[in-house]
Structure formats: C-alpha cells, structure tokens
Chain A
Amino acid sequence: MKQTIQKYLETPVSIAPLAMFRVLFGLVMFVSVVRFILKGWVKEFYIDPSYYFTYYGFEWVRPLGEVGMYVLYGVLVASTFLVMLGLFYRVASVVFFLSFTYAELIDKTYYLNHYFFISLMAFLMIWLPAHRSFSLDVIRKPSLRVGLVPRRTVGIVRFQLAMVYVFAGLAKLNYAWLFEAMPLKIWLAGRTDLPVLGAVFDWPWIPYVFSWSGAIYDLTIVYFLLNRKTRIWAYGAVIVFHVLTRMLFNIGMFPYIMILSTLIFFSSEFHQTIINTVQGWFKRTAEQVETLNQSYRPARKQLAYGVLSVFFVGQLLLAVRFLAYPGNLFWTEQGYRYSWRVMLAEKAGTAFFSITDGNTGGKIEIENRHYLTETQEKMMSYQPDMILQYAHYLYDLYNGKPIALGNDTLIVQNPKVTADVFVRLNNTGSRRFIDPTVDLAKEREGFHNKSWILHYND
C-alpha cells in the first residue's frame, strides 16, 4: 500500500503546470506588494502606530522603523519579481517566505486568512523545483533544466488549495450561514448600489442563494477542477465566484490570487501550450526532447517528506483546534484564526477600558483613540486576545505614571485594568463580552481557555 502511494507520488509528470504556477504566483504577489506600498499601508500599519498587537510566541517580531520597513517591502518587491522570473529562485523563494511572514507577524490587527495562505504557499514553494523550466535560472545554468518532476510536486500545490477550499466550505456548514443567511443578509443589503445586480439584494431569498452557492462551491470546486470533463466549467465557476466576491466585498487581491492559483489544476498540455507561446515571443525555440524527458531528482527527498508532513498535519491541527475550547466559536474566537473561516460573521464591538488606582481607587477611563489607530481599535474591540494585550499595554503605560492636574501631580500605583466591552454578532443585539470586574492586568496570554470571556447565551 505504502509503496503504491509512493510510486504514484513519484511518477514523473510534466513540470509545465508547476513552472507556470511559479510565474503567476510571483506575478500576483509582486502586484500585491506594490499595491500595498502604493496605498500607503506600510506607513499606516507599520510605522505610524504607537502600539502593535504581536502574536503569541512571536513577540520578538517588531516593526523595523521607517527605513527598515521600506527596506523590508523593497526586499519583498525584489523577491516576488525574482520568483516570477525564476531567477536565483532558491534564494528568492526563501527570502520571500521569510520577509512576507515577518511583515505579517508584526501586528495581528491586519490578519487575513489569505495572508496566511500566502505564507503557507510561499513556504511550500521553497521545496519545489518550480524554477527548473520556463525561468531565467535555466538560461543562466542550463543544467538545471528538467521536463519532468515527481507528481507530488504539482500535487502538493493542488492539495494546499484543496485544504483552503474544503475547510472554508466545512466552516460554512453552520446554522447561521445556511438557515439565517447571516452575515450575507447584512452585507448584501449594503451593496444595493451595484448596477443591476444590486437591485435584487434587498429580496429576502437572495442572501440564501448566495450562502448556499458559496458553501457548495467551496466544498465541491476542487473535485470538479480535478475532473477533466468538468474542469472548464468549474474554472468558469471559479472566475464567477471570485469576481463576485471582489465586487461585493473589500477583500483586496485574494480573488485574483485564487483565480490564478487554480490554473494549476489544468493539464500539462494546457500549460505547455502557453509556455511555448510565451517563449515564442522571446524567440526561444521549444525545448529539446531530451531535456523534456530529463527528470528532477531531489537531493533530500526524505527531509522534504518529513517537513511537509509536519507542515500539513500542523495546518490541520490549527484548523480544528477550536474543538478544544468551550463556547460559541464566533463569539469567543478561541481557535478562530488559521482555520479558514472567511467572511463568516458580522461582528463589531465597543470597548471601554478603565484604570483603577490600586491604592486610592481613583479611576481613569481610557479613550482608545489616544493609543490605537482606528483599525486597531475596531479589531481589538471584539477579539479577546487583543483586548487582553491592550490591557497589559495600558497597565505598563499607567503603572507609576504621573498625571498632571493643574499644579498637582498624582502617580498611578498598582493599577487594576478592567474593560467593559459590548459586542454584536450578526443580527443579535450587542451584549456584554467579557467580565467587567476582572483585572485583566493579572490575566495571562496563552492557549488556555479564557474564563473571563462571558458565554454567548448568558
């Protein structure tokens, strides 16, 4: 059995889909990074704020200052460009993975599932021979050129895409999504300005059509993409689905990433035709038959198997870790990130923080906008781990802080930090989110269950 599987995975197949994937992934990442810089987000997200919501275990990932951040984004631009060209690919792919992931780890305010997806894909690319055809590396060093690669190298990219779709589909199988059409009912009602299409968004049954189509799409699309007979129709659905989400929601580059990535499901012939056409523009003749049959033989196959097994098992565990926590996942968000829950809840909150002097009992109410950007405040207000981090930050700021009052100065001592937070989930009224009596300064971060989060149904 094991041998059969191994034989299947090692069967040589054309490198064309993989080489093409490298070009497209590099291209769309290059555009994403340039867009990010042009929108002014490097400054807005990583230079301007006075506080950053670090990830648990990655507190050492800090913003690099104005010059440093622009250098980092410069490195990202360069590495994505090199990945696309397939020039110094091995170095470029490692640099891209590290610099992209570093930037994402600076502040969880900007966490997006698709950034997580990019990090995962970038990591995978390090291990793939995607530069051994249709690249500048093979011109620079012709001995690199191969025509065949083990099936697993193409398959693993498809597998990664399948994980994203299937988990996203499974996540949609919940009562609110299917039977209340939440949160699409809320969001579509805000999009009635779309030409023609918008006119139907106030119709009561339309959100249900979208909810169900979305769930079915996510759950089945990989199957239909794999199947040769349905592939072309499935790809049409990919385009429609992602173009629609782009029109309806503010989700940046994600639709384009998926539309281009899913081309990996197409046949070798399809990709080879495109490659030949493009190479024709550059007056490069089609590859010699001998090189086409040259097969890639990895140096450290066992290592790659080991690393990638850990990689996928890790992803799987991250995606299902929510099962280990009590309560409503959408409410507590314990185990929410990295689980492919994409656009599944309309959630917002308001958080009032208080500092109480440990000696005098005097209270200071915090205006969050003095310490956080609007985006940070918005995200913090309904995510418990960020509420806790912010409380710790306030403790450090206020402990021993002199407060000027006219001619007097008072010093805050042993402050207690409490928060009264109200959160609205979908179309239920806002309710108290965490225990307002708990001194958050004394609560720890970590993976344990946070008892100070109130139950949704209380």
Chain B
Amino acid sequence: MMISSVKTKSFFPLLALFAVLTTACKKDDKDPDQDSSFDRAAMRAHYADDIILPAYLDFQSEMAEVMISAGAFVETPNAENLNALRDDWKDAYKSWQSCSMFEFGPAADVVLRSTCNTFPTDTAQIQNNINAGSWQLGTAANIPAAGLPAIDYLLYGLAASDEGIVELYATAPGFQSRGEYLLDVVAQMNTKITSVVNQWNGGYATSFKQKSGTDIGSALSLMVNDLNFDYELIKNAKIGIPLGIQTLGIARPNYVEAYYSGMSKTLALESLRASRRVYLGQNLAGVNGLGMDDLLLFLDAQHTNGTLHSAIMNQFSASETALEAINDPLSASIVDSPEVVETAYNKLQQHVVLFKTDMASSFGVLITYADGDGD
C-alpha cells in the first residue's frame, strides 16, 4: 500500500509533464512568447527597432556630415572650415558612444568598434602613412592609425595652433597626402557603418528578434555580454589605463580617449549615459520602453538591500557624479588630482560587478561567447 501511494505521488507530476511535453513537441508554430507574462519578443523588437538601429542611423548621418565638412576643409583649408569639421566630428564621436555596445552580428563582422575607436592612436604610424603617400586602412598595423581617434590627432594634434594645423592641409609639404588620409579615414568608417545599417535592414534585425532564450547567441545574451564588455572598456580604457592602473600606478595621460581635443570626459559621460539608456530600454530621445530593467523587476532580482534594479540605478548615479567631479581635461586631472579620477574608477568597477555578475546571473545569461556543456 505504502509503495503504491509513493508511486502515485512521484509519478503524477512526471506524467503531467509528459503530457505537456508531448503537446509541446507538436505545436511549435505558435508565437513562443505570446502567452508569457513578460513579453520578451516585444523587448527584443524594441531593442532592435527603437534602440540599436536608430543608434546606427544616427552615427551614419553624423558621419555623413563629417564626410561633407571634411571634403570642404580639404578643398578649402581655413579656420572656419576646420572648426565646422571639428564640430561635426565631435557630434559623430558622441554619437558613436551609443553604438559601441552593440558589437555583435553585422558590427562584429566588419570589426566596427576597433575600426572606429581604437585608442591611443598611433601617431607615428599615421605620419608614416602620410609620408609614404599610400596606405591600406584595415590592416592590423593601421587599426590604431584610423577611426575617430586618428581624426582627433589629425584635427587637433598636428600643430600647436589652429593656424599651424590649417597650414598643414593648405600649403605645407605633404598637404595633399594629409588631406587624402583624413578623407580616407572618414570614408572607411562611413563604408562600415553603412554596411552595418544595410545588414540590419536587410534581415539581421528580423533574425535578431527571433534569437529567443538565454543561450549563447541569443539576443539577450549578446546584448548583456556586450553592454558589460563596453562598460569594462569605460572603466579600463577610458579611465583605468591612463590613470596607470595597469602600470604600477604610473600615469599615462596621453592614453585617454580623444587626448588631443581634450573631450575625454564628455565622451566618458556620454558613454555611461548611453549604457544607462540601453539598460533602461530608452531611445535617443529618452522615451522609455521594455528594457533590461523591466525584465529584472519582473524576475524580482534582488540585491543586498532592495532590488537589483535600484542597486544598478544608484550605481549609475554614483559613477556619473564621480565622472562629473573630474575637471576637464581628463588627461590633466589624471596628473593633478588622481584621487578624483580614482574615485570614478572605483565606482565604475563596482558597477561592472552589477552587470557582469548580478544582472547576467539573474537573466541566466553566461558571460561568454564560447560554447560548451554544463551540468
């Protein structure tokens, strides 16, 4: 008697599962997310249509403007055209910060992030290319001699004064080669971002929206992994490495992003705010939709004192405040008031834990792109 009652108890749920399972295998044409309490398909669509593609389109149009003003400057090098070009370049650089965290799919195929933003830029390599009069962008040696950081050097770092810089594109020896190099660097980025936009419009957006689940290669896994990777770049590349965090505390101020124009702090803040928008599912205009924050709240993800969502938002604010406290330019502050920069570094580091460990784990997403079995 006892045995049979144990049997019934233990087998009932299993048989119930079996029944569900057999039906599950039959009807797989139904929209998988439709009936669940959190519409994950809508979230993926929102990220693809309202956040990622608009970010690429914005960068594409900013770069198109850079192309026009760069053409005008090379054609007629004067202070006015230089400043117009600089302004367009600054807008493009800021716009880039909203694209940087989507290095998967088409962007990964064309190595968009390394092409657009490898710093510190290799000034010797740039000068060699210009002097040689011919170059091949895209080779390993030329990756750090191209992109937005190369333009930073080409528009701000070539001479001490603006007159001197204009002179280098107007009449100084090699002016033609220099102008062509500038245009080529811009064109390379334009080609790549256009290719990415075309691929997103040409089918990748559709397949991205279908990448359900949390496995490696799912849309959520791609976004969480890259948001985290990019956030680690803010911490390490933008702040930590220039601060000397990997070099026994010996500062390397010229390693900051956009060293020659001195807009490093602006870009770091822009990057942090872009990450926050992605996390919240906000578009460029700040309109909020279904985002990672909503999913975390739905999943009831906890942190030490309260929800994980509030911990993440507090940390965003703390990091933002700490970055704002740094005096411009960042490269000078690293030398003059390193403790202020270090505070910002520490806040960013704490935030990496929240993304890399707490958020990824709450979603059941692995922080890796590598396949393998688990148990």
Interface residues of A (CB under 8 A from B): 39, 41, 44-45, 110, 112-114, 186-187, 189-203, 209, 212-213, 216-217, 220, 224, 230, 233, 236-237, 240-241, 243-244, 249-254, 342-343, 346-350, 352, 357, 360, 362-367, 373-375, 377-378, 381, 403, 405, 410, 412, 422-424, 427-431
B296 to chain A, nearest CB (A): 11
Which residues of B10-53 have CB atoms within 8 Å of chain A's CB atoms? 10-11, 13-14, 17-18, 20-21, 23-25, 27-28, 30, 32-38, 40
Q: A240-B14, A430-B357 are in contact. Are A193 and B35 (CB under 8 A)?
A: no
A9 to chain B, nearest CB (A): 25
| Residue from A189, A191, A195, A428 in contact with B28 in the complex, judged by beta carbons closer than 8 Å | A195
Contacts of A403 in B (CB 8 A): 247-248
Whether B214 and A217, one on each chain, are in contact in the complex, defined by CB atoms closer than 8 angstroms, is no
B162-170, B181-189, B361-369: which lies at the interface: B361-369
Whether A197 and B20, one on each chain, are in contact in the complex, defined by CB atoms closer than 8 angstroms, is yes
Contacts of B311 in A (CB 8 A): 429
Whether A251 and B374, one on each chain, are in contact in the complex, defined by CB atoms closer than 8 angstroms, is yes
Contacts of A363 in B (CB 8 A): 245, 248-249
Contacts of A375 in B (CB 8 A): 368, 370, 372
Closest 9 CB pairs of A and B: A362-B248, A252-B373, A193-B212, A429-B303, A190-B364, A190-B214, A199-B35, A195-B28, A374-B368
Docked pose: A89 CA to B187 CA in angstroms: 66
Decide if B6 is an interface residue (CB 8 Å cutoff). yes
CB closest chain-A residue, reference B365: A190
Contacts of B352 in A (CB 8 A): 350
Whether A364 and B246, one on each chain, are in contact in the complex, defined by CB atoms closer than 8 angstroms, is yes
A217, A427, A429, A431 interface centre (most CB from chain B within 10 Å): A429
A389 to chain B, nearest CB (A): 19
Q: A193-B213, A202-B36 are in contact. Are A429 and B14 (CB under 8 A)?
A: no
Docked pose: A405 CA to B23 CA in angstroms: 65
A199, A200, A233 interface centre (most CB from chain B within 10 Å): A199
Jot down 11 A-B pairs with beta carbons below 8 A, ordered by A.
A186-B362, A195-B25, A236-B18, A364-B247, A364-B248, A365-B240, A374-B367, A410-B250, A424-B358, A424-B361, A431-B304
Interface residues of B (CB under 8 A from A): 6-7, 9-11, 13-14, 17-18, 20-21, 23-25, 27-28, 30, 32-38, 40, 212-215, 236, 240, 245-250, 252, 299-304, 308, 311, 349, 352-354, 356-358, 360-375
Docked pose: A38 CA to B18 CA in angstroms: 32
Whether A428 and B36, one on each chain, are in contact in the complex, defined by CB atoms closer than 8 angstroms, is no
CB closest chain-A residue, reference B243: A365
Whether A350 and B247, one on each chain, are in contact in the complex, defined by CB atoms closer than 8 angstroms, is no
Contacts of B357 in A (CB 8 A): 348-350, 381, 422-424, 430
Q: A192-B36, A362-B249 are in contact. Are A250 and B361 (CB under 8 A)?
A: no
Docked pose: A374 CA to B367 CA in angstroms: 8
B334 to chain A, nearest CB (A): 15
Instruction: With A191-B214, A350-B352, A378-B368 given, name 11 new contacts (CB 8 A).
Output: A112-B375, A195-B32, A217-B14, A240-B21, A250-B372, A254-B373, A348-B357, A375-B372, A410-B248, A412-B248, A429-B304
B7, B215, B249, B353 interface centre (most CB from chain A within 10 Å): B353
A45, A251, A350 interface centre (most CB from chain B within 10 Å): A350
Whether B21 and A197, one on each chain, are in contact in the complex, defined by CB atoms closer than 8 angstroms, is yes
A318 to chain B, nearest CB (A): 16
| Residue from B18, B215, B354, B371 in contact with A430 in the complex, judged by beta carbons closer than 8 Å | B354
Whether A365 and B358, one on each chain, are in contact in the complex, defined by CB atoms closer than 8 angstroms, is no
B291 to chain A, nearest CB (A): 16
Contacts of A430 in B (CB 8 A): 303, 353-354, 357-358
| Residue from B24, B25, B33, B349 in contact with A192 in the complex, judged by beta carbons closer than 8 Å | B33
Q: A186-B362, A430-B353 are in contact. Are A110 and B372 (CB under 8 A)?
A: yes
Whether A191 and B213, one on each chain, are in contact in the complex, defined by CB atoms closer than 8 angstroms, is yes
Contacts of B6 in A (CB 8 A): 220
A416 to chain B, nearest CB (A): 13
A190, A346, A374, A428 interface centre (most CB from chain B within 10 Å): A190
Contacts of B349 in A (CB 8 A): 352
Whether A187 and B364, one on each chain, are in contact in the complex, defined by CB atoms closer than 8 angstroms, is yes
B300 to chain A, nearest CB (A): 7
Docked pose: A201 CA to B362 CA in angstroms: 15
Docked pose: A201 CA to B299 CA in angstroms: 11
Whether A195 and B30, one on each chain, are in contact in the complex, defined by CB atoms closer than 8 angstroms, is yes
Contacts of A424 in B (CB 8 A): 357-358, 361
| Residue from A190, A233, A431 in contact with B363 in the complex, judged by beta carbons closer than 8 Å | A190
Q: A196-B24, A209-B13 are in contact. Are A240 and B18 (CB under 8 A)?
A: yes
Contacts of B299 in A (CB 8 A): 186, 189
CB closest chain-B residue, reference A250: B374
Docked pose: A424 CA to B14 CA in angstroms: 31
Docked pose: A44 CA to B366 CA in angstroms: 17
Whether B24 and A197, one on each chain, are in contact in the complex, defined by CB atoms closer than 8 angstroms, is yes
Docked pose: A107 CA to B245 CA in angstroms: 30
Q: A196-B24, A357-B248, A375-B370 are in contact. Are A367 and B236 (CB under 8 A)?
A: yes
CB closest chain-A residue, reference B14: A237
A234 to chain B, nearest CB (A): 8
Contacts of A186 in B (CB 8 A): 299, 361-362, 364
Whether B27 and A195, one on each chain, are in contact in the complex, defined by CB atoms closer than 8 angstroms, is yes
Contacts of A428 in B (CB 8 A): 302, 304
Contacts of A374 in B (CB 8 A): 367-370
CB closest chain-B residue, reference A404: B247
| Residue from B250, B353, B365, B375 in contact with A350 in the complex, judged by beta carbons closer than 8 Å | B353
Contacts of B358 in A (CB 8 A): 424, 429-430
A73 to chain B, nearest CB (A): 16
Whether B212 and A343, one on each chain, are in contact in the complex, defined by CB atoms closer than 8 angstroms, is no
Whether A213 and B17, one on each chain, are in contact in the complex, defined by CB atoms closer than 8 angstroms, is yes
CB closest chain-A residue, reference B23: A196
Whether A202 and B37, one on each chain, are in contact in the complex, defined by CB atoms closer than 8 angstroms, is yes
| Residue from A202, A252, A349, A427 in contact with B38 in the complex, judged by beta carbons closer than 8 Å | A202
Docked pose: A286 CA to B360 CA in angstroms: 58
CB closest chain-A residue, reference B249: A362
Whether A427 and B302, one on each chain, are in contact in the complex, defined by CB atoms closer than 8 angstroms, is yes
Contacts of B370 in A (CB 8 A): 44, 373-375
Docked pose: A378 CA to B367 CA in angstroms: 7
Contacts of A427 in B (CB 8 A): 300-302, 362
Q: A112-B375, A191-B213 are in contact. Are A347 and B30 (CB under 8 A)?
A: no
B247 to chain A, nearest CB (A): 6
Whether B21 and A217, one on each chain, are in contact in the complex, defined by CB atoms closer than 8 angstroms, is no
Q: A362-B248, A364-B248, A365-B240 are in contact. Are A212 and B14 (CB under 8 A)?
A: no
Whether A405 and B18, one on each chain, are in contact in the complex, defined by CB atoms closer than 8 angstroms, is no
Docked pose: A366 CA to B357 CA in angstroms: 18
Contacts of A373 in B (CB 8 A): 370
Whether B361 and A346, one on each chain, are in contact in the complex, defined by CB atoms closer than 8 angstroms, is yes
Contacts of A189 in B (CB 8 A): 299, 364
Contacts of A347 in B (CB 8 A): 361
A270 to chain B, nearest CB (A): 21
Docked pose: A364 CA to B373 CA in angstroms: 34
Docked pose: A446 CA to B213 CA in angstroms: 39
Whether B21 and A243, one on each chain, are in contact in the complex, defined by CB atoms closer than 8 angstroms, is yes
Contacts of B240 in A (CB 8 A): 365
Contacts of B17 in A (CB 8 A): 209, 213, 240, 244
Contacts of A405 in B (CB 8 A): 247, 250, 252
CB closest chain-B residue, reference A420: B349
Contacts of A254 in B (CB 8 A): 373, 375
B342 to chain A, nearest CB (A): 11
